[in-house]
Structure 1
Amino acid sequence: MATEVIVAPLYQGSEISTSNRLRLATSPASKKALSSCTSTNQMDPARTKLTTIETKRIISVLDETIRKVELVTLLSAAAYNPENLEGLLEDDIIRAIQDHEDFCNTLLEMENLVREEEEELAESRNPHLQLLLDEHKHSLMLLKEEVKGSARNTLRIFLLNLQAGEILRTQIMGRSEEASVFLQHLIEFRGFVFEKLLTSPMEEKEKNTFMEEIHLQEKKNYDMIQDLEAQLSSTLKARDAEMEKENFVIKELKSHLHQVLKFSENHLLRTKQEAEKQQKAELRASQGRVAKIQQDIHVLRTQYHNIIEENRDSEQTLRKKKYKLETEIENWIQKYDTEMGEKQTEYEELAEIHTEEKAQLAELKEKHTVLIQEFVQIREERLINSKKKLEAEKELALMVRAATLIQAFWKGYLVRSLLKSKRKKKKGRGRGKK
């Protein structure tokens, strides 16, 4: 993920869009509000360390990304200054850096070529040039994928060899200005995320409420001061206009007096004194008005400081409320830890019983397996015996049948022999009678 973000800014120089950079600067109104508030503890998070695994993983991912950015932004300078790494890094690492730089140079050349062809196509509208441009764009996409893969492979080499990465950081100092700005913004973003992760939702809500109150009060005071300054400016302008008018009158009088100097020196001196008296009177009146305005400004400043004190008191009240809530939360956490400890103990006891029963089950399974093997063997032996017995019974039946047939045949033979002998005897008797 990190390589896909940082490959483009490293080698395109001034073509980086400033709108893509992070803007973490605080607005002037926020700075003014923060500077006017003497208590800064309201703005700081209550915690100083991350407590959950998720927040630690987020910060570790940002740290790993910053480390990869530091390495990748030095690859170009390392490729142009290989003599600084000779004897310090292995040849395959230097070769990987050179290969990555070659890919990047090829990518820049292809981008320049595509840009030139787009300009020519906008002027000529040549279909053949359009086909060539599409082919070059496809090649450019493939080159981008190769550059990304090369950046990942080079980073893997340095991440597996931490000593090589440290050597690259210490020996190579030629990071580009755009890469430095990107890295600085990434570090500032890490600090911003770290502060956000330290701030709980309740603290964030209290902080926003406090800032809104400060902004509103500051806006009111600023508007009041602007009105007073406008009044003071108008008064000073009126006084200056009057002074300019009086000075103009004095100049005219002086010119007139110079014209009639020989005619009436006493009259000129008297007129000058009256003008000076009038000027002093106007100056005193103007100084009185300025003093009154300054007094009004002092009163408003006193009111402003009183409002700040009231806000400070309300802040102390909110802090006490916050401390009370934190104490209750801590008590709940302790109660939770106690109950979870008891549950954990019960769970461990049940786990031991489960382990013992599991061991007994395994032992019984082994015995069952042995008994099954013996049963199969006995069943096979019985099957063989039954087959043998069946064959013996068949053979016995066959023999019995054969014996029966033999006996029947023999009995038939005896009967036929007996009948033949009887027939012969009857024939002998018949012949004797005849």
Structure 2
Amino acid sequence: MSTEVIVAPLYQGSEINTNNRLRLAMGPASKKALLSCTATNQMDPARTKLTTIETKRIISVLDETIRKIELVTLLSAAAYNPESLEGLLEDDIIKAVRDHEDFCNTLLELDNLVKEEEDELAESGDYRLQFLVDEHKHSLMLLKEEVKGSARNTLRIFLLNLQAGEILRTQVVGRSEEANIFLQALIEFRGFVFEKLLTSPMEEKEKNQFMEEISLQEKKDSDMIHDLEAELSSTMKSRDSEMEKENFVIQELKSHLHQVLKFSENHLLRTKQEAEKQQKAELRASQARITKIQQDILKLRNQYHSIIEENRDSEQALRKKKYKLETEIENWIQKYDTEMGEKQTEYEELDEIHTEEKAQLAELKEKHAVLVQEFVQIREERLITSKKKLEAEKELALMVRAATLIQAFWKGYLVRSMLKSKRKKKKGRGRGKK
């Protein structure tokens, strides 16, 4: 993982055409909406909730990752703007955030130094700088591991203190654009994984087949649109030529119309006289038709009353059937309410048990924290005792060695003094003999 991935994106402060017939039948917007609606209905999973523990664990891991990234990407902004958190977070938490930001700044400075040294090495060709560059690279790798550890420790503090994490998310503003893009990509990936987990293999196969059919249909539609556009252009050209011809014909017809108007006045008088004669004949015929229609109305009215009687009988039978169905539905509803009441009671009992176990867990955690503190204290006391014991053993060994040296020196002194006294006695005896 490069320095840019560790620091730069996540730790930057606030200072990531159809023809006329198709247009009349269906416009592009309506057609697109219809295809989108059909594709959505076909591609939506049949299930809306996860059923297996494994899938729920996958989604929970993704949610936890997104939550951690949200916190990590705000650490730099919190370090640059500590006044926004003063009085809201504890001093040790703010100190941990500042220490982590110091690690990140040191890492960036060291990375820039390594790049400058590499550029200088490439330009000058002096390979005596290679040792210095390698040493700085090694320091850079170690510093990266320290930054990772610092990020884990700081994140662990906020995860253990949920209130502090919530304050960091709500009070601190200044996440970088790259971090926002990364978070958005994670959220989209979570949605994609959630949809994939809801989709069964059969649904996936049907979805792929449906997408292939849609792509083929879209290709056919585009080809047809291209052909229709070519046909439309040719039709427009022929229509323009025809309009020119029709304009010429219209001019001729206007002159002819003027002559026809003069002729039509005489013809209109004759037509009016003939129309009056025809109106009288049709009036007599219409009176006969009215009489016949009145007779038909009486006949149809009788049929209407008989049909009403039949419909009343059928309506009564349907009402009885409806009452029977309503009674059955009400019985089913009562049965459902009873079963749901039992389930609700069982759920409340389980919830009480869960609450009690949760309280026991909190109590055990408190006891565990106390035991851990006592263990650390005992271990420190044992370490101090062992150090004192080791110092005492060293001092005893030194005293034993000193005593041994003194005894050896004293024994040597006694032996030399005895030897001297023996020599003196021998010398005295020799003189007496002489």
TM-score by length of 1: 0.49
Which one has the largest radius of gyration?
Answer: 1
